[in-house]
Copies of this chain bind each other. A is one copy, B any other.
Amino acid sequence: MALIVHKYGGTSMGSVERIRNVARRVAKWHKAGHRLVVVPSAMSGETNRLLALAKEISAQPSPRELDMIASTGEQVSVGLLSIALQEEGVDAISYAGWQVAVKTDSAFTKARISAIDDQRVLADLEAGKVVVITGFQGVDPNGHITTLGRGGSDTSAVAIAAAMRADECLIYTDVDGVYTTDPRVVEEARRLDRVTFEEMLEMASLGSKVLQIRSVEFAGKYRVKTRVLSSLTDPLMPLDDEMRSGTLITFEEDEKMEQAVISGIAFQRDEARIAVMGVPDKPGMAYQILGPVADANIDVDMIIQNTSVEGKTDFTFTVGRGDYQRAMDILTHQADGHVNAQTVLGDPKVSKVSVVGVGMRSHVGIASKMFHTLSDEGINIQMISTSEIKISVLIDEKYMELAVRALHKAFGLDQT
């Protein structure tokens, strides 16, 4: 009699036949006696279609109106899924975010959930209904529709699971779990049965696309037991098998077993590096350089500043490749002006490769093993950045696959 939240991605909702399969799976869980809240995404392609219409009308459409438009994709999905559930003999009811209500701030197109009122949903669950709630959206204090940004349905599902103290949040997607690295790059990549939420957080931030990073943050903050699993399996597979499939995101202290040192190799292919050379080493310089970049809504990833020599220093950072030219334009303009940098160098063809693992906290030598492995392959490291549970290096794009494969083998991730 557990309370379970299911989340289905756009691919899983991509056609009438797939929606029927989702309904069969949910009905199976419901008939086994569980209370179910289901959060489906918009049918695949739908959100893009809607946003393209808006972009055709205006190069810079109003974020409020974009949310008005984009939120409809999920509203269609909840209605269709409820009808499919009713066809399966399950009493189901759908709600848009504002009806629940899922309350957010007013940051249109990238709103954050502030609170979820669970009274209405609880009453429906008590009455034996399956409740289907739109992901990706909510309502702000003034009654305007907001969306959480792309991939926000993951976050909605985990947030609803947190608000309702669900026993588990199951994220159904088109992969069957979290892997030691991308199987398209390393054939020997293995699915992890468990991963800690800190590792998941690093992997998400490092480019592993399985879960949206904000959903992982939510899972960690509210300690939501979250499982990533496949929606492509037989919807009527035995429930016990399904409950053991995929990858469970756990919390360190729950773990009784010995931690693996490294859980996975993450990578981000499309990075670009920008180095502002020979800037005066004085307070406020980093802000003067990065402020205008941030103002242009460009996300900066790795940042490094070298020790200064003769009052001058080099300041290097990475951005997504799509933002490279805009960032270079801003920096070149700066270089001519008040920052007094000598040169701005850029390289739009770099990739980031990271090893991630909670276990590295208590193990020395991870960094040196990583650097040694890359050196053996003749791969030059351009930048290094570390956190408590990950080490990232920036390398030439053309060596990315080679680096991932070599590290995957060096850390024994191909061994069960």
Chain A contact residues, CB within 8 Å of chain B: 16, 19-20, 50, 53-54, 56-58, 61-62, 64-66, 68-69, 71-72, 75-76, 78-80, 82-84, 86-87, 93-94, 96, 98-99, 143-145
Contacts and interface: CB of A to CB of B under 8 A. Distances in A.
Q: Which 9 A-B pairs have the closest CB atoms?
A: A69-B79, A72-B72, A68-B79, A65-B79, A61-B83, A65-B82, A16-B56, A58-B87, A65-B83
Nearest to A19: B57
Contacts of A57: 16, 19-20, 80, 83-84, 87
Q: Which DSSP category, helix, strand, loop or mixed, fits chain A's interface?
A: helix
A62 B78 contact: no
A71 B145 CA distance: 15
A68 B96 contact: yes
A54 B86 CA distance: 12
A79 to B, nearest CB: 4
A134 to B, nearest CB: 9
A80 B76 contact: no
Contacts of A58: 83-84, 86-87
A87 B57 CA distance: 8
Contact of A79 (B66, B87, B96, B98): B66
11 contacts: A16-B57, A20-B57, A54-B80, A58-B84, A64-B93, A65-B83, A65-B94, A68-B94, A69-B79, A96-B145, A99-B144
Given A68-B94, A96-B68, A143-B99, A62 B82 contact: yes
Given A69-B80, A96-B68, A62 B86 contact: yes
B69 A76 contact: yes
A56 B87 CA distance: 11
Given A98-B98, A143-B99, A54 B68 contact: no
A76 B83 contact: no
A132 to B, nearest CB: 9
A288 B200 CA distance: 69
A57 B50 CA distance: 23
Contacts of A61: 83, 86
